[in-house]
A and B are shown apart, each in its own frame.
Chain A
Amino acid sequence: MTVTDRRTPVRGGVGTSAPRPDGVAKVAGRFAFSSDLFADGMVWGHVLRSPYPSARIRRIDVGPALAIAGVHAVVTASDVPGVNAYGLEHTDQPVFAEDVVRFTGEAVAAIAADHPETARRAAAAVVVEYEPLEPLVDAEAAITAAPIHPDGNVFAHLLISHGDPAATGDVVVEGTYEVGMQDQAFMGPESGLAIPADDGGVDLHMSTQWLHVDRDQVASALALPPGLVRMTLAGVGGAFGAREDVSLQVHICLLALHTGRPVKMVFSREESFLGHVHRHPCRMAYRHHATRDGRLVKVEARMVFDGGAYASTSGPVLTNACCFAAGPYAVPNAVVEGWAVRTNNPPCGAMRGFGAVQACFAHESQMDKLAAALGMDPVELRLRNAMQTGDRLITGQLISGTAPVAELIRTCSAAPLPPQDPAPDPMARPGGSGRSADPDRVRRGVGFAVSIKNLMYSAGFDDFSTARVRLADGAATVTCAAAEVGQGFVTLAQQIVREVLQVEDVVISAADTSSIASAGSTSASRQTWMSGGAVEGAARAVLRRREAGETGEIEETYEHHHKPTTPLGADGQGDAHVSYVFAAHRAVVDVDLDLGLVRVVEIATSQDVGRVMNPVQVTGQIEGGIAQGVGLAVMEEIVMDGGLVRNASFTDYLIPTALDMPEVTVAALIEQPEPGAPFGAKGVGEPPTISSSAAVAAAVRDATGLDLPRIPIRPQDIALAGS
């Protein structure tokens, strides 16, 4: 299907492919990212990190570093004036390690110096005496192992018991699945600039996903009232969840206050790998029960998520994985147990798909296994069980909004298959420019997967967004602290205001913490709904005043809330979610059986979008999300070895190149307006990632006949015969 623009009287309104206000500057290289910031008198910060996954700190001597010419300050835990800890859900991660380090890369000290190289050399001169300890790196063992943190090793333990736990089906299939640790791999490394202010506070310019929550964590560590920490969003070079947690925010603010100078810090790629959370690696054991005619009777699952050294969002990630453990299917009975545990591996937290990605790989692998056991077409099996409005999740929650799962499955599976080129260009074969595949050794496979995920935060964490719209001289100005991380919220904000006020000239002012209240995080596919709703609310309030005859300048601020959610009860039942979004993916792959190489030829997708707000941006999210999904399926993994990261660079951590990227065919965008959502639109950012990995895995299984219970699938998983 092609997406057609809907014309509205004013150009660039809702439904059009309005251009991004920052687009030209970005492609022309004129856009200032956070790493481009500069201030007079600025010095450079650098963080000294632990080389050990687990060690006691015997002694720290910063003297030799301070003695280096050009070094302005060296700070450690003892210099943190407030609480020496931060964290999104639990403040369990030290700003600087005190007596122990719990992961490779944990911050131990920070330096400010006249040049980044001086700062790095000073870091190397700090004497830290470590007593290395045996790291705890096995997630299953962590459940019962001696605690490696005063808060214990279990971040979350969840039990969902739905329907009759003793129910059984005629046909039972089992499987154990694993997902490797994926990195968000954004292009722009963590970077920021902190400027000390005359009032004792600090101005922090930073690329982040959620200004206000960063500010609160910085203020608490610095023992400052939140009002004295003023954060402004600096140009963000991608986020995907990795900027939701604090990275260098506290460190540079502390250094700025210590030196009385602006302090800038930019992570190297290696530091970026060590300095932000990743997608949880996990192990999931499943058992599906069904009737002989292919109706799901019960889903049993046990999931263990490795959360690494600190909590971050491990709890909510696990909640999502468990809630969506059965996928977008009506399942009358379910028993799901989930663990998210602390280990000495790198902390894991938010990444596009947030728990649903892992669960989707497992439940979709199970659906294929079940189809095989039943002798049924896998698409037919999915259709037979497709969730619809009025069904219940395994948490007992009623699906009251739109749930066009059957339409997604039908449209996506009906897309014409790509033709098989009899003599494909060598570059277009598995192995690409390695010229390694012979066409006659290549086998084609097709795989299908469907996903469900929630929009917005959940389980009682009910946040809001705030926006202000000012209309003056025929132009509107929007103020909102929503972080533009590349997803295009700034475009949507303009489109919404144009649509409501019928003015074409809409300016988006800088996002900061001083001029407006929180917009919540740019995550959980929530900003179109939450900040879109706030912008719409403010614009409508302005409109009402204009329609009442006011002329002059009109300004309105609006706080948008979604309907409340509640935490899950002891049996894992409850109304934990606001709304759901669904997607279907069909992958076509060519596999070289002898060399274990996979080329993803095409991904066809149908997505539940509620309403297409901006056709080009929807397509952009779909293509980008699929790139990350394909990456997880066939190459992306942070390689761990005894708590050490072995591939902290883009030379060694591989993400898809243009040559690895498949054709993307949008089979259908299903527009069924979601009740309660501004313009009926659902977030579109996460679904493209969620089921694309599972679809690729299914396609590789189809081509090879192998089990492939783990992603990423790599050559050795396919080409092992005979060794």
Chain B
Amino acid sequence: MKAFEYERPVGVTEAVALARRAGSRFLGGGTNLVDLMKLGVETPDLLVDLTGLDLAEVLEQPDGALRIGATVRNSDLSANDAVRARYPVLSQALVAGASGQLRNMATVGGNMLQRTRCPYFQDVTKACNKRVPGSGCPARAGEHRNLAILGASEACIATSPSDFAVALAALDAGVTALTTEGEVSLTVSDFFRLPGDEPQRDTNLPPGALVTALTVPRLDWATRSAYRKVRDRASYAFALVSVAAAVDLDGDRVRDVRLALGGVAHAPWRATRAEEALRGGPATEEAFSAALRGELEAAEPLPHNGFKVDLAHNVAVRTLTELTGVPA
């Protein structure tokens, strides 16, 4: 690991000022950043520890939204009463991630900004366009069983690993960030990006920006929401595919629906096409299946990850079926 300096600011202004220094990185719980430093993937000169900042609160806003400070720990948020009651999908997505010990350390800001698990990204002896722009992408012809089937580019087929972010995408959450120029607000959908020919950028966050809060808008029918995750073992593993869904039912019809897929793309994949197809239609398994097949028409699987197309379809149909109480 390369030598680095360490600062623990107490104010956000100080934190973003420190972040202007070349080679600086924010440190949340460190559960991803420190691992990557050990692998030599991240080589910061300065770590700006965020855990001394006053950003660890979950506040209900006057408009009914929930404002989640960026340094709230994953465990704390998953156990938060308001989250559990109003947004089950969010709480379930959090507890589906990592292990108890990791969730106790991990911050929600760090969770959003954790880097891809692509094996080539994590191996500094190998080419990777995300790590070293222009160096190439060996994953396409190599080990890509768990890489993207949607929205990938020639340059990059990495997936976003965060479970939490998939739930946030489904809930139309917003991200508030601070730079020395001032505050920026983005929706989660605009925050994450597809790799295109700039895979080195995971997000559309301006350089040096400090995520201060996540805002989950009021959505009364999100009480009917769920997160399901398919992985290689019963606990403590990243997703092969996952789904975050919320449904508003009007009798046996879908009044409104939110659907996002995880493990399939460089960003949480908001299934807008499927949502469109479902809105106003019958809440039947056939309708769910057709909507998902439509959504997944855009899939461009590689030789070893084609199974994810079916998994995504199956797990999403199941989740919608469960939420709407449609007999199987």
A contact set with B: CB distance below 8 Å: 51, 117, 120-121, 124, 268, 427, 431-436, 438, 440-441, 594-597, 599, 635, 639, 641-642, 644, 646-647, 651-652, 654, 656-657, 659-660, 714-716, 719-723
Q: B230 contacts A715, CB within 8 Å?
A: yes
Q: A434 contacts B230, CB within 8 Å?
A: yes
Q: A659: which B residues are within 8 A, CB to CB?
A: 233-235
- Bound-state CA distance A440–B318 (Å) is 11
Q: A723 contacts B306, CB within 8 Å?
A: yes
Q: B242: which A residues are within 8 A, CB to CB?
A: 434
Q: B234 contacts A432, CB within 8 Å?
A: yes
Q: B236 contacts A657, CB within 8 Å?
A: yes
Which listed segment binds A: B71-79, B152-160, B165-173, B307-315?
Answer: B307-315
Q: A596 contacts B311, CB within 8 Å?
A: yes
For A117, the closest partner residue in chain B by CB is B1
Q: A720 contacts B232, CB within 8 Å?
A: no
Shortest CB-to-CB span from B103 to chain A, Å, is 12
Shortest CB-to-CB span from A124 to chain B, Å, is 8
Q: A121: which B residues are within 8 A, CB to CB?
A: 1-2
- Bound-state CA distance A715–B117 (Å) is 19
Report if B54 contacts A (CB, 8 A): no
Q: B119: which A residues are within 8 A, CB to CB?
A: 639, 641, 646-647, 652
Q: B306: which A residues are within 8 A, CB to CB?
A: 720, 723
Shortest CB-to-CB span from A69 to chain B, Å, is 12
Report if B52 contacts A (CB, 8 A): no
Number of interface residues of B (CB under 8 A): 44
Chain B 220-261 interface mask (CB, 8 Å, partner A; 1/0): 000000111111111111111010000000000000000000
- Bound-state CA distance A596–B315 (Å) is 11
Chain B 294-328 interface mask (CB, 8 Å, partner A; 1/0): 00000001000011011100110010011000001
Main secondary structure on A side of the interface with B: loop
Q: A435 contacts B92, CB within 8 Å?
A: yes
Q: B321: which A residues are within 8 A, CB to CB?
A: 438
Q: A599: which B residues are within 8 A, CB to CB?
A: 234
Main secondary structure on B side of the interface with A: loop
- CB contact between B145 and one of A117, A644, A716 (< 8 Å): that residue: A716
Report if B216 contacts A (CB, 8 A): no
Q: B318: which A residues are within 8 A, CB to CB?
A: 436, 438, 441, 594-595
Q: B238: which A residues are within 8 A, CB to CB?
A: 651
Q: B142 contacts A642, CB within 8 Å?
A: yes
For B120, the closest partner residue in chain A by CB is A646
Q: A715 contacts B233, CB within 8 Å?
A: no
Shortest CB-to-CB span from A578 to chain B, Å, is 38
Q: A436 contacts B307, CB within 8 Å?
A: no
Q: B214: which A residues are within 8 A, CB to CB?
A: none
Q: A596: which B residues are within 8 A, CB to CB?
A: 230, 307, 311
For B305, the closest partner residue in chain A by CB is A716
Q: B307 contacts A433, CB within 8 Å?
A: no
- CB contact between A715 and one of B40, B143, B232, B235 (< 8 Å): that residue: B232
Shortest CB-to-CB span from B40 to chain A, Å, is 8
- Bound-state CA distance A597–B241 (Å) is 12
For A593, the closest partner residue in chain B by CB is B314
- Bound-state CA distance A716–B235 (Å) is 18
A to B CB contacts below 8 Å, 6 in the list: A431-B229, A433-B95, A435-B96, A435-B229, A659-B233, A716-B307
